[in-house]
Structure 1
Amino acid sequence: MIKPIHFLLTVLFIAFSFIAQGQRGNQTSLSVGTELDVPLNIGSYQYSGNDITYKGGFGVNLKLETPITQALHFTAGAGYIYFESNRYYLYSVEYSSSQVYPKLHPGPYVYLPVVAGLKYYWAKYFYVSAETGCAFKTNNKSYNSFIYSGGAGAVVPIGPHHGLDFGVRFERGYKNIDYNHPIDQLGLNVAYKYRF
């Protein structure tokens, strides 16, 4: 039996595909955005005897998009990503022999990601995308990391040359000295887009 939500999503996908044509590929665009990053595979684990839960991150990004064909575009971008850990450890102290010591506080982890990829407009304002690149460390708690992502989004026009780009993506690769695995994360992005 088909679930109602699956049926609805299928109908919407088919409708958008028939109603809208691929975005015209005669304009290059530049976008400036902000993003919220939600780690998916980081939970509590032991760090010097303490349980720590890593929180999400945030960032800003700049992206250039230029057409290869009417529907397929090349993208290149750079950004700034900041991951925070459990803020409880910023204010905690340990007591030993009447001495007060600050508890170890993991993070923050700060990166400068540089990526390139492709964006395919399967309908007039809707796209899927894939990118890969490197996240360069900017402090001693981070590692240089190979990163890659895939996602989807929509562009809402607000004039002949302006628009808002709303996107969501799955991204993997960020590494730091306190966690042995690359971070899997969900990125939510909103960007102002100018076409020229």
Structure 2
Amino acid sequence: MKKLLSALLMLFSCSAYAQTPTRAFSAGLELGVPANSVFAIGFGGSGKAEVPLVSALSLSVTGGFTSFHYKSALIGSSTTQPAVNYIPVKAGVKYYFSPGFYAEGEAGNAFQTNYTKENLFIIAVGPGFIVSTGEHSGIDFGFRYENWGSGRLRQTAIRVAYRFGW
């Protein structure tokens, strides 16, 4: 397993995107796996804008839509509940350690669109990498840990997005 991960990292580092951050926008799909929650899984999509601040540091703003599905709805319970929908809005910073490899931290709010219409504070942090598909475009793979509402919802999330810069 370690050899496979090492080989993948070498492959991606050879085709990494951009030496320094550029202004960019990405749109992608998200998958969330909640921990110790009534939810089994979360699906969604998001858009992210990125503006460079200094050489390896960028400011990011993210908005999207996420739908969390209850565990009982997926395992065939006699009563299925509709999913809980949120609109997460976050701002943060992204630091590039080397071409294409970064770590990102974000904070923001998730606005519930159904049920109680509650708002949850979000903290998110995690690494990612960008695989080049052209001079100013790439596929962005982001992994993060998120804490929503001071522990009400904790999840590991994966984002795969098409990114283009200018």
Aligned counterpart in structure 2 of residue 161 of structure 1, from 136, 141, 147:
136
Partner residue in 2 for 1:67? 52
Report the AA paired with residue 23 of structure 1. Answer: Q
* SS, match of residue 157 in structure 2: strand
Aligned-partner Cα distance in 2 for 1:126–1:194: 16
Q: Give the deviation of 1:72 after TM superposition.
A: 0.5
Q: TM-score of the superposition, structure 1-length normalised? A: 0.71
Number of aligned positions between the proteins = 156
| Same amino acid, percent of matched pairs | 36
CA displacement 1:130-180 (0-9 Å, x = unmatched): 0000001100155210011000010001101110000100001159xxxxx
Q: Give the deviation of 1:84 after TM superposition.
A: 0.5
Q: CA RMSD in A?
A: 2.6
Partner residue in 1 for 2:163? 193
Partner residue in 1 for 2:36? 41
Report the AA paired with residue 81 of structure 1. Answer: T
Q: How does 1:1-196 map to 2 (within 5 A)?
A: 23-25=19-21, 27-42=22-37, 54-85=39-70, 86-87=72-73, 92=78, 103=79, 105-141=80-116, 143-173=118-148, 182-196=152-166
Larger Rg: 1
Where does structure 2 lack aligned partners over 5 or more consecutive residues?
A: none
Cα 1:91–1:183, aligned 2, differ >3 Å: closer, same or farther? closer
Report the AA paired with residue 163 of structure 2. Answer: K
Q: Give the deviation of 1:54 after TM superposition.
A: 2.7
| Greater relative CO, 1 or 2 (CA 8 Å, sep 6+) | 2
Aligned-partner Cα distance in 1 for 2:118–2:19: 38
Cα 1:66–1:135, aligned 2, differ >3 Å: closer, same or farther? same
